[in-house]
Amino acid sequence: MSTYIKSERELYSSPYATIGSQRGRNKPLGQDEFRTDFQRDVHRIIYSQAFRRLRHKTQVFYFPQNDHVSTRMDHVLLVASEARTVARCLGLNEDLTEAIGLAHDIGHAPFGHQGEGFLQEIIETCKNPKLKQIIPKFQHEIYGLRVVDKIAKLDRETPGLNLTWDVRDGIISHCGEDYKTRKLVPGDKLKNLEAIRNKENAGNPTTLEGCIVRLIDKIAYCGKDIEDAIAANIITISQVPEKINKELGENNGQIIGAFLEDIIKESHKKDYIALSQEKADLLLSMISFNVEKIYHSEKSEGYRTQAQNTITSLFKALLKKLQETSRFNNYDEDAEKDPAVYRILYEFVKKDMGKIYDALDPDELIILDFIAGMTDTFAVRSFLQLFVPQAMV
């Protein structure tokens, strides 16, 4: 036992707290005298390139110029902070909760949920059946496990973050679009994460810490999306239902506080995580309001066609380049005249992910992974390089 940190049993008082990883890591990391395993996961996540790219990925609105409007990075930071507060009050494992909160959306594509849908259409229409065998549906919960296991990397290290089983379970089981569930009981601890191919089969997280994140995921974005929509002039303050203002509060901080207090009271000394029926009904009414007035507003969907054209055009062009060069085996890496996106794809295939793909993996999988990892800004910049005339002199 380390002489520098307390044991998790000393740190977390609840008998339901997760003490140590249930199944460890796929590859041993060795002991760390100064950090718990889950704290190490927090650090492996936040130092990864995939996590850092979240700051330029859509939450609701494409690459906002208003610094106070959320990106995907803002969302995961809010979830991790709020979830850790609940875990502390319930005597549960704060480090595990934070790690799941930070990584739960790491599988998101550029352009948010719309981008997720665009990649799903690519999978459905792909002529190579092997792609669908590997990724039947593009769902960010399921794809998130692929990201942390095979694609995400620390600087100059081999791909894969080698996280603990419990964090990986929290990622694949967070099911961000589960709107109606108010009570979460931990799921099957014997589940095979690698065999899960859609979020409906992922079940609940196997830890109370993962259940906290799954429930708070909706709470964190619901009130913040209202604030962002007001800032973006999509809705006005007067449009927010009076019941929300009266029962929850007049700003996001008050709304979050009301929900977190309710979760703590409903879940105290329990073997489940829950909202009261009253607060669950209010949350559902907020989500319904957001769907109608924000997510499907003309401004939110105004560039949907352009974003879809960007993703589908990039997929076709990059796949063609990959196949023409035999996966860059016939490519001059010093080809300065090539658009930058081709050279970056070369680095991805031959250097960053050099040992991840084998001959049996379809070329389409490589391009899907490359595009899914793009930020909104890189996707648009790449599209401009390939499809918009550039200055010749």
Bigger pLDDT: 4 or 27?
27
Looking at the fold, whether 203 and 81 belong to one and the same domain comes out as yes
Question: What is the number of other CB atoms lying within 10 angstroms of the CB of residue 118?
Answer: 22
Residue 157 near residue 29 (C-beta atoms within 8 A): no
Residues 88 and 230 grouped into a single domain: yes
Looking at 266, 295, 324, which one is the last position of a domain? 295
**143 falls within a domain:** no
**369-388 confidence digits (pLDDT tens):** 999 999 999 999 999 999 99
230 plus 257 within the same structural domain? yes
Q: 97 lies in a domain?
A: yes
239 and 99 in a common domain? yes
CA-wise closest residue to 151 among 238, 49, 237? 49
Q: Which pLDDT band holds residue 65 (cuts at 50, 70, 90)?
A: confident
How far separated are the first and last CA of the chain, in Å rounded?
A: 66
Mean pLDDT of 340-359: 94
- Using the structure block, give the residue that is written with the tokens 């002991």: 31
Taking residue 150's Cβ as centre, other Cβ atoms within 10 Å add up to 15
Angstrom distances, CA of residue 383 to CA of 56, 298, 310, 390: 16, 24, 6, 12
Residue 144 placed within a domain? no
Task: Report how far Cα 113 is from the mean position of its chain's Cα atoms.
Answer: 11
227 lies in the same domain as 353? no
Does 111 reside within a domain?
A: no
Tell me the torsion sign for CA atoms 193, 34, 12, 216. negative
- Cα→Cα distances 86→17, 67, 99, 211, 213, Å: 12, 28, 14, 11, 10
Q: How many CA atoms lie within 13 A of 43 on its CB side?
A: 8
Return the closest-CA partner of residue 369 out of 100, 41, 50. Answer: 50
Q: What is the rounded average pLDDT of the residues 108-117?
A: 96
Torsion angle in degrees (nearest 10) through CA of 133, 134, 139, 144? 170
In angstroms, the CA 19 to CA 38 distance is: 10
Do residues 235 and 257 both lie within one domain? yes
**125 part of a folded domain:** no
- CATH code for the domain in which residue 27 is found: 1.10.3210.10
- Whether residue 247 lies inside any domain: the answer is yes
Q: Which domain holds residue 319?
A: 304-386
Domain membership flag for residue 353 = yes
In this structure, the answer to whether residues 160 and 59 fall within a common structural domain is yes
Evaluate if residue 193 carries a pLDDT over 80.
yes
Please tell me whether residues 181 and 50 are part of one structural domain.
Answer: yes
If asked whether residues 275 and 331 sit together in one domain, one would say no
Mean pLDDT across 83-98: 98
pLDDT (0 to 100) of residue 333? 73
Using alpha carbons, list the distances in angstroms from residue 265 to 84, 222, 259, 274: 15, 21, 10, 9
As for how many domains the chain has, the answer is: 2
Q: Smallest Cα–Cα separation from 176: which of 146, 234, 216, 231? A: 216
Neighbours of 387 (CB within 10 A): 13
CA distances (Å), 151 to each of 72, 143, 317, in order? 19, 10, 22
**In this structure, are 263 and 335 located in the same domain?**
no
* Chain centroid offset of residue 274 CA: 22
Opening angle at CA 218, ends 109 and 111, nearest 5: 20
Residue 275 C-alpha from the chain's centroid: 23
Is the distance from CB of 61 to CB of 300 less than 8 angstroms?
Answer: yes
Give me the residues paired with residue 183 across strands: 274
More confident site: 39 or 354: 39
Q: Is 226 among the domain residues?
A: yes
> What's the whole-number mean pLDDT along residues 241-268?
95
Mean pLDDT of 126-152: 97
In terms of domains, do 44 and 177 share one? Answer: yes
* Domain boundary, last residue among 295, 325, 359: 295
pTM over 0.75: yes
pLDDT digits (tens, 9 = 90+) for 296-348: 988 888 899 999 999 999 999 999 999 999 999 998 876 667 899 999 999 99
pLDDT digits 0-9 by tens, 45-58: 999 999 999 999 99
Average per-residue pLDDT for the chain: 94
Average pLDDT over residues 79-103: 98
Angstrom distance (rounded) from CA 379 to CA 382: 5
Closest of 81, 76, 69 to residue 52, by C-alpha: 76
Q: Which stretch of DSSP H or E encloses residue 184?
A: strand 183-184
Do residues 81 and 163 share a domain?
A: yes
Percent of the chain with pLDDT over 90: 84
The pLDDT assigned to 67 comes to 80
Are the C-beta atoms of 152 and 159 separated by less than 8 Å?
yes
Going by C-alpha positions, the residue among 79, 97, 103, 202 that lies closest to residue 161 is 103
Last residue of a domain, one of 272, 295, 318: 295
